[in-house]
Structure 1
Amino acid sequence: MFKILEVKMKYCWTFYIILLMIASTAYSATVFVDPNSQTSPAVGKTLSISIKAKEVSDFLGFQFELNFDKTAIKMISVEEGSFLKSEGVDTLPLLSTKSGKTVLLWETTADILTDVNNAGAVTFANLRISDKGVNGTGTLIAINFEVINAKESKIEIKNAFDDPKINPVLVNSNSVEIQCDLVGGTIAQPPVCVKGDVNNDGNIRANDAILALRISAELLIPDAQQFCAADMNNDGQVRANDAIAILRKVAGLGAPDRSLFVKDIVNVRLDDTYGVAGQSITVPLKIDGSNIVAGGDISITYDSSVLRVIDVSSNPDVLMAVNTNDLGIIKIAFAGPSDDKLADIKFNIISDNASSLTIKNLELYESNLSKIKAKKIDGFFSSYEMPAKETALLQNFPNPFNPETWIPYQLKSDSEVIIKIYSATGELVRELNLGHKPAGIYISQDRSAYWDGKDKFGIPVSSGVYFYTIKTKDFSAV
């Protein structure tokens, strides 16, 4: 037998979905709510679900009714999934209310949503305008709800028709029903928790703040109680500012006495570093103006084919959680007072190449939980063995010096290298013949040109101003 769903459109045309009912099952499939189960966010927060079809073959269209607890959630937006639209095929997605209003999905208005929320029910239908269906698993509808009462409730998928003998939820390109299971979803009531008592031991201590930092750095996957207790500001995420709030509670300070706002500006930076494969380097992570910083979350990316993290150390007065489990990224969550150097990051150099050291996802907070404006200054690593972009003579260090100094330089190509040192009157004081040097960067103390502060006769020079020059096969500079 046939069931014809006739939908009158405002453009004066009629849309038919024809479903052939047969005794045997043509295909086996599931239409389900994803995620199947989730804990209700706080009142006013967004709860998102998708309605998906699983393991379908030659799938061309659908129609079903969705029911939800209107005393717990209300629908605030809906959009078509990508499954039926695959390969750029046009579709006709429809939404119908219990009051009899039917619209194209993208024409859903506030009045339509009001009708849906008053009923706690809505019907969706869609048809792929093609003679060929789609296969596999994909999203049919994506919906956002707002929580109006954080309690236990259900989201159910059911037949769009009252006749229980008819189950026209899915149809294939031959107008044959794809019989399927309908699996709804559940929303759990948020757990009862004591804010700050992350380990649920009846006390709020610094170790609870450490657990919050571990959650923020993705070192710990929290259960519902831990997440509830660690999310001090009820924003649906656990970050370093929650750990700061826990520490305030430990100290008996309570909530901040002023509203949150963005203020102050600090610089967070990584230094440029150099080395060769087989060596290790230490890159300091610095915060200029750290006296106002009480905590934060920082992610740093690097090229894992060039560098490998072996350690991240910090001031012992700082509570810090560091996640280096994923190659190419370091996740740091910290709370507590810090000096200008927040941490030392130690890498092994595994190849003579270059890597950016890029600061990502930077959030810093004051002790009253005010967010701090922060400027990111990224670093860079380059192997000494890599040819420089240009040959150059660099600033000596230390400067001023007594009695010795080092003169760094870099070479774009292999060359004989001679450095000459002159007095302020232009008299040649010393010539450093460095011999043949391969292209590379010579800026560390063990690679730079060394001057012991003596003239060509081995006599220490007097205090004063000196100049130096470099000469290679195709370059000279003062």
Structure 2
Amino acid sequence: MSCAPPYVAGRRNQEMRARTRLSLWAAGVAVFLLWSWAMLVAWSNSVAAFLVLGSVSDSVGVPLDGWTVTVANGSRWELVTETGVDGDPGVYQIFQLDFGSNNAASSGDVITVTFDGPEGETHSEERTLTEDDVTSASIEVSHQTSAEPPPPTVDAIEPLTAKQLGGETITVTGTNLEVGAVLVIGDIEVPLDVAGATDATAVLPALPVGPSGVVVRNPDDREGVFSGVLTIEPALAADISGDGVVNIQDLVTVALEFGESGADLTGDVNGDGVVNIVDIVTIARDFGLSVVVAAPALSPAGDARVVAAARTVVGSDAFALDLFLRDVSSGLDGVGGYDVELAFDPSQLRLVGMDEGDMFDDAGVVFRQTHTAAEAAAGTARLLAVPLTEMASSGEGDVGTLRFEVLGSWDRALRSLRIVRADIADRQARGLRSTLTPLVRDMRLTADGRTMAGQNYPNPFNPETWIPYQLTEDADVTVRIYSADGSVVRTLDLGRQPAGGYVGRDGAAYWDGSNETGEKVASGVYFYEFRAGSYSQVRRMVILK
């Protein structure tokens, strides 16, 4: 065994003594720092370094990453981090170090911790620091989300049918029904009277006819969908379309299925499994009845124009009014029926006759309905027709003719005559929007018993007008239009015309307000010269733009 040389052993002893002195110095520094920390906390109740930590989890304790955590000590400092950013699921840490005059935290400070979730959730907590919090230089603030309430369910609704006028009470059975919930029928919200989590009632308002889906919606917008449907029945059995009125659309619906038998026939009004004359009579019996409903107005399937043209009897107090259906929208499968009603003053006009139009003559069977004698005596005239069998498509045609006798003043009589309504349906029982051509007011000339021209109508006008006239015998008719300085503006050559009255817009001379080259003329006074054979007459008219 060898011994280390004396100089080596001496060096080792020196190193050991140095390490011992260093350890004693470090221990002294540590003790001094701890004593200083304790003295600082004890003296000022403040710390230069402070740690806030915690976690975010769901209602069953599963850690949630991606939540933004904001920690603030009043206005002194604010730091932001995210849960799980350090690799520890759901955990966050924020460390603030401040050796300045503010220090990181002091007893009495209010630390605010705000948690913001990735789907807009937010939660905030405030913690007032105690002396123990300052001494430990840390606090823990965690957040656990609350469990979401379950959505409602709808197990049953009683009854499953109701009338469209409303006022009936239905019972809803389900789960998780909350006070303030609503029943959504189609797109109409109905308040629910919730008696408990499983039972509620609702008083129905007026609703559209037909089956509707039903949903229960709680105040938090959670919904439960009913697996069945609520069926709203018409208040009037004959109101097949459910628009609140028994009209031509319902009649056409029956006509489309006339003679068919089986289940679920729309036109089977009385429900006996066959569409027959009983259903027609039921519609006719209730025709015109209406109720107030909440159903939105049905959009028209197209357009049509009702035209009224007068045929006068020269030298008498009688005239005939022809009604036509014109300008039906293209793309429709023809007209399926019409119902036109006129009104007049029975003290001025007497309805002496009526001829049905030929519009549906191609159909083997046509259901028609007109005014009664009592209605005519009271001043109402009506023409209704619906073909019950197949026919060639009809887009326009003659509705019918009404023959009147003037009892007193032509002026008062004609002013009382008007078309009240014109309900028109296509062959799929869809309503059409009807435009009514105004009735001619200047038919007094027909009582004079001589060839003449009447005053143009309308007057003043822009840009078109009609010039009525009558002939006591066949004649070549020309209308020449002059400007105020006598220049010829336009010549209307009407050709050879038979004796009679030409008053309505389908018969009167028509001027579109343009000159011979097709240019529209300016506003001002113009004159028209009416020539029929050797007869000539001049009248004045005004264009007002």
- Give the TM-score of the pair, scaled to structure 1: 0.36
Q: Which has the larger radius of gyration?
A: 2
Q: Which has the higher strand share?
A: 1
